[in-house]
């Protein structure tokens, strides 16, 4: 069912928009064909007329490729009762598809805002991994105490000198702790 929602070919106006060609406002919805599945109408084809006096066709799955102003124009046509030339059930399915797409955009935007808020909150609290390498430890011997920062100098698996905090010394389990 899902693959039939999207057009198998790219819609022609996408290429023009990428090249900077603007088509203008949607003046009207000429026709809507709806396929009923499981009590829900799936838009098979929507034909709209733009300000440049050309007709454009797209499917419900192509709403993602449309500009937000196009969605707004179609919703305004529905609110202004300029779709009365269509069947009542087609109008309802068309408006429902637009509303569902708009809701998904709002939810997506709120999730992005929430994620940005969490990231900025983490930066504000400085929730980052502690630094385990310091320039001062290059000249220290392995398994010697370090006072700035407090801990013990050791060599990790990548042959880099690192500092283990004093409260993590229990991690030396091979007898190295006794030597320290």
- Tens of pLDDT along 77-114? 999 999 999 988 899 999 999 999 999 988 888 887 77
Residue 115 forms part of a structural domain: no
Torsion of CA 73, 78, 79, 80, to 10 degrees: 90
- Shared domain check, 136 and 60: no
What does the alpha-carbon distance between residue 82 and residue 103 come to, in Å, rounded to a whole number? 22
In the prediction, which pLDDT does 170 show? 66
Indicate if the pLDDT at residue 176 is higher than 60. Answer: no
Same domain, 12 and 78: yes
Q: Do 10 and 95 lie in a common domain?
A: yes
Asked if residue 136 and residue 99 are part of one domain, the reply reads no
Considering all CA atoms of the chain, what is the largest pairwise distance in Å, rounded to the nearest integer? Answer: 89
Banded model confidence at residue 164, pLDDT cuts 50, 70, 90: confident
Domain that holds residue 20: 2-106
Average pLDDT over residues 9-23: 52
Q: Do 9 and 95 have their domain in common? A: yes
- Which domain-ending residue is among 73, 106, 139? 106
Per residue in 39-49, pLDDT (tens digit) is 777 889 999 99
Alpha helix ranges (H) inside 5-151: 12-18, 68-79, 88-125
Examine the domain organization and report whether 96 and 158 are in the same domain. Answer: no
Alpha-carbon distance values, 156 to 134, 162, 178 (Å): 14, 7, 19
Nearest to 57 by CA among 90, 79, 31, 25: 31
Q: Does some domain include residue 14?
A: yes
**Domain check: are 102 and 53 in the same one?**
yes
- Give the chain's domain count: 2
- In a domain, residue 176? The reply is no
Q: Which phi-psi region, left, alpha or beta, contains residue 151 (left: φ > 0; alpha: ψ -120 to 50)? A: left
Query: What token pair was written down for 103?
Result: 């809701």
The candidate with the shortest Cα–Cα distance to 54, out of 78, 23, 85, is 23
Q: At 35, give phi and psi (nearest 5°).
A: -110, 125
Regarding whether 47 and 6 lie in a shared domain, the answer is: yes
Distance, in Å, from the CA atom of 66 to the CA atom of 17, rounded to the nearest integer, reads: 10
Average pLDDT across the chain, whole number: 76
Residue 129 per-residue DSSP state: P
| Residue 156 confidence (pLDDT) above 70 | yes
* DSSP helix/strand/coil, 146: strand
d(CA 113, CA 119): 10
Residues 16 and 78 in one domain: yes
96 & 11 share domain: yes
Domain identity same for 140 and 95: no
pLDDT bin (cut points 50, 70, 90) of residue 172 is low
**Both 132 and 98 in a single domain?**
no
Confidence of residue 23 (pLDDT cuts 50, 70, 90): low
In this prediction the pTM is 0.52
Percent of the chain at pLDDT > 70 equals 68
Query: What pLDDT sits at residue 75?
Result: 92
């Amino acid at each position: 069912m899902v693959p039939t929602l999207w057009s198998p070919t790219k819609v022609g106006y996408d290429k023009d928009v990428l090249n900077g060609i603007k088509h203008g406002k949607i003046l009207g919805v000429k026709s809507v064909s709806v396929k009923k599945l499981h009590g829900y109408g799936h838009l098979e084809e929507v034909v709209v007329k733009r300000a440049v006096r050309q007709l454009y066709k797209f499917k419900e799955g192509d709403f993602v490729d449309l500009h937000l102003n196009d969605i707004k124009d179609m919703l305004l046509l529905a609110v202004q009762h300029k779709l009365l030339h269509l069947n009542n059930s087609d109008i309802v399915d068309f408006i429902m598809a637009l509303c569902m797409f708009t809701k998904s955009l709002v939810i997506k935007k709120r999730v992005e805002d929430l994620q940005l808020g969490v990231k900025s909150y983490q930066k504000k609290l400085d929730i980052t991994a502690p630094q385990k390498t310091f320039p001062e430890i290059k000249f220290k011997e392995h398994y010697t105490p370090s006072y700035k920062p407090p801990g013990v100098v050791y060599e990790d698996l990548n042959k880099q000198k690192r500092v283990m905090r004093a409260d993590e010394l229990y991690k030396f389990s091979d007898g190295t702790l006794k030597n320290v």
